[in-house]
Structure 1
Amino acid sequence: MNLLLNQRDLYTKGDQVVWKGRIDGEQRDWMRWHQLMECTDLLSDPDLKQSVVFLGFCSDEGVARNQGRVGAKDGPGAIRNVLANLPVHFSSELKIKDAGDILLKDSDLGSAQLTLGYALSSILKAGGFPIVLGGGHEVTYGHYLGIKDFLADGGHRIGIINLDAHLDMRTLTGGQGNSGTGFFQIEADRKGMKQPFHYLAIGIQEISNTSGLISYAKSKGTQIIERKDLISDKFNAIKKQIEAFASEVDYIYLTVDLDVFAAPYAPGVSALAFNGIVPDDLFFDLYDVITGLPNLRSMDIAELNPSFDIDTRTAKLAADLIFKFVNRF
């Protein structure tokens, strides 16, 4: 049974109208993504083998609860607008598909996250590689729920790599989750299942996390690579650490919070990082290591806030991350 049917009011299928743009020709070498994008309905149990499948998560409720700048609910549309005009360089054996959006209604974040989980699990079960377009970083807990449902037996080891200035491992406020509690919720769930918690956070900044939170995260086994350590002299050591982390798990989920990047490159985010990562050759070498992991099974891009973007810089950076991954898929 497709559990997404139970939450169908929070799901809208892919819409071909969204995918439009410049046309340079009809031969593949001249095409752009909008010409090859196929829209699909997850309620119809589609075949998604050999497909990268995009799914929007239109929520910034968690950001609002976390006292951040709201607007990330419009992130999926902004990313799609840039993706539409990207040139086609990926393999002809690969298909790109848009599975639509998960919506938020009545500030009910829990239902939206659960629906995201059902949708993501549906994509994985149908053989697709899901890329979730956020949306606030509350996307993480919903994404995890989908992986958990897909793996089902509870015995698989899940590893999460988070590119982020923040650890997002704060305790719940008034019993409610937000954009900064995802990893706290995941750790608690893994503990309740008597399963290990595998979390590697890259790009963390001391200025963005209390010392208590850093100590708490480490006490739960979190591996932390700080922003200041992302230098060429340490690249090989970091590469080995990432590969060793991946070798300990069965499933790797990559989440990219765009506030990990320096403000000039990513001004359109919920929580600005003035001194974040510069998306230069060193960073993309590191990104290649992560996206080349053989057990990477899903990813998401979080915290794009078009309300604060300048010249669509942040949306273009998000699209470039996706572009580079799809081209090597």
Structure 2
Amino acid sequence: MQCKIIKVPVHEGTGREGCARGAEALEAAGLAQALASLGHQVLDGGVVRPGPLPAIAHANPAVRKLAELSAWTAAIAAAAHAASETGFPVFIGGDHSVAAGTLTGLSRRAAESGRPLFVLWLDAHPDFHTLDTTESGNLHGVPLAYACGLPGFEGYFPPLATPVDPARICALGIRSVDPAEARALGASGVTIHDMSEIDRRGMAVLLEAFLDRVRAADGLLHVSFDVDFLEPAIAPAVGTPVPGGATYREAHLVMELLFESGLVTSLDLVELNPDLDVDGRTASLVVDLAASLFGRRILPLSLKAG
């Protein structure tokens, strides 16, 4: 497989600057080497940079860095659309505002190809605020709502060529939802599996049901992985940690199932803040998880079947 690693050093979506160096940390932890060792061709897709800032302001006084995020979103969407023409793009951030651009660029590409785009959202948070409902003002909390075409972004974020259908989104590992997000999600059609449901039913059962839907529709599958999907004890390098996340084995199981499905066509790796890491262990874990998604196994499947 041809993998294109695209660096997106955006930090304006969060209140901390360290995420801008997340891509560098993943590179230093050996992301490209890990994928190449599995037989994939790894290409340097370059660094995304925003264009000129638009002159915009919002009535919600909490909203922060709106012009910067609007410019970033336009640039990332263009990069995602271009990169997805061939190969498998891997977007390494950067905070989760990256997804406002990747989802919209990929959705445009999917529409042009005549295939539906599905999204697996691995995150502690649904990031389903609008510019009107956000209280923190940190715009890494809005990308999924924007990409789905919720109202209130017109005139502030780039116009959507093709919104993502909320019914084709599965948010897995959720454990922190604000009331406004809960109301919007309830009316949206997004499939939500929180950690309580995962505890009761199991990670594999829930994920495989979603993968069956993607397969039946001949869909393209984008995986948007936020480091805070993981339990903070094993992945401390996040600015918004929420206890009770996915364990080491649960996270690897997700990646193994995704590889075995053969359905994934693009990937975000976001919210890694190396300033908060301990001896680089979070970056190393994210690289290991990415390697599992691209086929790394302890034993070949043929031996397991025997």
Does TM, normalized by the shorter one, top 0.5?
yes
1:56 and 2:7 matched: yes
| Cα shift at 1:310 | 1.0
From 215, 220, 245, the counterpart of 1:276? 245
Q: Which region of structure 1 is more displaced relative to structure 2, 318-327 or 74-83?
A: 318-327
SS at 1:116's partner residue? helix
Kept after mapping to 2: 8 A contact 1:121/1:149: yes
1:254 and 2:215 matched: no
Equivalent AA in structure 2 for residue 182 of structure 1: P
Which residue of the partner structure matches residue 21 of structure 2? Answer: 74
SS at 1:262's partner residue? coil
| Cα shift at 1:326 | 2.8
1:323 and 2:291 matched: yes
Kept after mapping to 1: 8 A contact 2:32/2:42: no
With over 3 angstroms needed to count, the CA separation of the structure-2 counterparts of 1:157 and 1:211, relative to structure 1, is same
Runs of 5+ consecutive residues of structure 1 not aligned to the other structure? 1-49
Kept after mapping to 1: 8 A contact 2:50/2:74: no
From 220, 224, 228, the counterpart of 2:188? 220
Kept after mapping to 1: 8 A contact 2:104/2:164: no
Using the alignment, how far apart are the partners of 1:294 and 1:160 within structure 2?
Answer: 14
With over 3 angstroms needed to count, the CA separation of the structure-2 counterparts of 1:212 and 1:146, relative to structure 1, is closer
Which residue of the partner structure matches residue 180 of structure 1? Answer: 141
Which residue of the partner structure matches residue 73 of structure 2? Answer: 113
Deviations 1:14-54 (A, max 9, x none): xxxxxxxxxxxxxxxxxxxxxxxxxxxxxxxxxxxx41110
From 199, 202, 219, the counterpart of 2:172? 202
* CA RMSD in angstroms, aligned pairs only: 2.9
| Cα shift at 1:285 | 1.9
SS at 1:267's partner residue? coil
Which residue of the partner structure matches residue 47 of structure 1? Answer: none
Runs of 5+ consecutive residues of structure 2 not aligned to the other structure? 54-64, 152-159, 298-306
| Cα shift at 1:303 | 0.3
What TM-score, normalized to structure 2? 0.78
1:159 and 2:118 matched: yes
Using the alignment, how far apart are the partners of 1:76 and 1:194 within structure 2?
Answer: 27
Kept after mapping to 2: 8 A contact 1:72/1:303: yes
Using the alignment, how far apart are the partners of 1:63 and 1:177 within structure 2?
Answer: 5
Aligned length: 270
Q: Which region of structure 1 is more displaced relative to structure 2, 73-82 or 143-152?
A: 143-152
* Identical-residue share of aligned pairs (%): 21
Q: Which region of structure 1 is more displaced relative to structure 2, 103-112 or 312-321?
A: 103-112
Q: Which region of structure 1 is more displaced relative to structure 2, 52-61 or 176-185?
A: 176-185
Kept after mapping to 1: 8 A contact 2:255/2:292: no
Which residue of the partner structure matches residue 298 of structure 1? Answer: 266
| Cα shift at 1:180 | 0.6
Using the alignment, how far apart are the partners of 1:100 and 1:194 within structure 2?
Answer: 26
Kept after mapping to 1: 8 A contact 2:171/2:191: yes
SS at 1:311's partner residue? coil
Using the alignment, how far apart are the partners of 2:220 and 2:69 within structure 1?
Answer: 25
| Cα shift at 1:195 | 7.0
| Cα shift at 1:143 | 0.2
Using the alignment, how far apart are the partners of 2:100 and 2:114 within structure 1?
Answer: 19
1:128 and 2:87 matched: yes
From 73, 96, 100, the counterpart of 2:46? 100
Using the alignment, how far apart are the partners of 1:310 and 1:96 within structure 2?
Answer: 28
